[in-house]
Structure 1
Amino acid sequence: MFPPLPSPAASVLFVCVHNAGRSQMAAGFLTHLAGDRVEVRSAGSLPADQVNPAAVEAMREVGIDISAEQPKMLTAEAVKASDYVITMGCGDACPIFPGKMYLDWQLDDPAGQGVEAVRPIRDEIKKRIEALIAEIDAEQVA
C-alpha cells in the first residue's frame, strides 16, 4: 500500500471578468510553481468563449502551456471551496464569504492586446504568484 498523498496546503481561486487572460495566467503560474502543494481554480463573472490567444502565447514563451484551458463561470461553490480568492477586476460580481482571504490584484486587462502588451502583465502576475506561494508556505510553518 502507498501512503496517502498529502492534501494541498491551500486552495486558491483566481477571478477576472472573462477568465480568459489574467486569471488563466495566474492559475498557470501557480500550478507550475507550486505543483501539488496548492489546489488551483480560476473563473469569471462573464466567461469568454476561449482563453486569450495573446495570453496563451505569452505563457508559452515562459514554458507554461495554458492552451487547453477553458474559461469557467464563477460560482459560489468555487468561492466556498477556496482558502484564497484573488480578484483581478471582477468588480462587484464576486461573492463574499466569511473566513476567506480576499486579495484584489490591480492588473491591466490583456483583452484585445497583442503579446507585446501582455508580457509585462504576465511578468507582474509571476512576481505576485511567487509572493503568494511564499505566504502560503509561511502559513504552513506557523
Structure 2
Amino acid sequence: MPSVPSVLFVCVHNAGRSQMAAAWLAHLAGGRIEVRSAGSAPAETINPAVAGAMREVGVDISAEVPKVLTAEAVRASDVVITMGCGDACPVFPGKRYLDWKLDDPAGQGIAAVRPIRDEIRVRVEALIAELLLLR
C-alpha cells in the first residue's frame, strides 16, 4: 500500500493562514493525508479572529499552538506550502514547494478573515483532489 502523502503549511507566525490550511486539510482529508504546520517566527497563540472564523464553519482550532519551523518537518513532508515566509523556509531537493499568496489575517477582524478562510478551503480542496488522485 502506498504511503500517505504529507503536507507542511508554513507562514511566519503559524497563528493564522497555516493553521487554517492545516485544519481544513485535516478536516476534509479525513486522515488520508498527513498534516503539519509551522512558522518561521511563531506567535504565542492562535489569532483569535482566525479561531472564531474556523469555529463558524465547524472546525475548532482553539487548542492548537503555533510551532516553530524545523528542517525535520520539511524533510518529513512531501509538499511544503508557504504563505509569506520568504527565505526563512529551508529547501531540500526532491520536495515539492508551492507558495500560496494570501492576505495575512494578523490584526484583522473576523469579517476580514472569512474570505481568507474560504479561499484557503478552495485551495485545500484542490490539493486534496490532486494528492489523492496521484496515489
Q: Same fold (TM over 0.5)?
A: yes
Larger Rg: 1
* Partners of 1:83 and 1:100 within 8 A in 2: yes
Rounded to whole Å, the distance in 2 between the matches of 1:80 and 1:53 is: 30
Indicate which of 31, 34, 39 corresponds to 2:26.
31
Which runs of 5 or more residues in structure 1 are unaligned? Answer: 1-5
Is 1:125–2:120 an aligned residue pair?
Answer: yes
Indicate which of 31, 52, 66 corresponds to 1:57.
52
The structural deviation recorded for 1:7 is: 7.1
Matches within 5 A, 1:11-30: 11-30=6-25
Matches within 5 A, 1:100-139: 100-139=95-134
Alignment identity in percent?
74
* Partners of 1:45 and 1:94 within 8 A in 2: yes
What is the aligned partner in structure 1 of residue 71 from structure 2? 76
The structural deviation recorded for 1:8 is: 5.3
Rounded to whole Å, the distance in 2 between the matches of 1:21 and 1:108 is: 10
* Partners of 1:20 and 1:71 within 8 A in 2: yes
Output the aligned Cα RMSD. 1.0
* Partners of 1:44 and 1:73 within 8 A in 2: yes
Shift >3 Å, 4+ stretches: none
Q: Deviations over 1:55-102 (max 9, x none)?
A: 000000000000000000000000000000000000100000011110
Rounded to whole Å, the distance in 1 between the matches of 2:132 and 2:53 is: 27
Q: Deviations over 1:15-52 (max 9, x none)?
A: 00000000000000000000110110000000000000
Q: 1:59 to 1:7 in 2, by over 3 A?
A: farther
Rounded to whole Å, the distance in 1 between the matches of 2:125 and 2:41 is: 27
Which runs of 5 or more residues in structure 2 are unaligned? Answer: none
| TM-score between the two structures when normalised by the length of structure 1 | 0.93
Question: What count of residue pairs does the alignment treat as equivalent?
Answer: 135
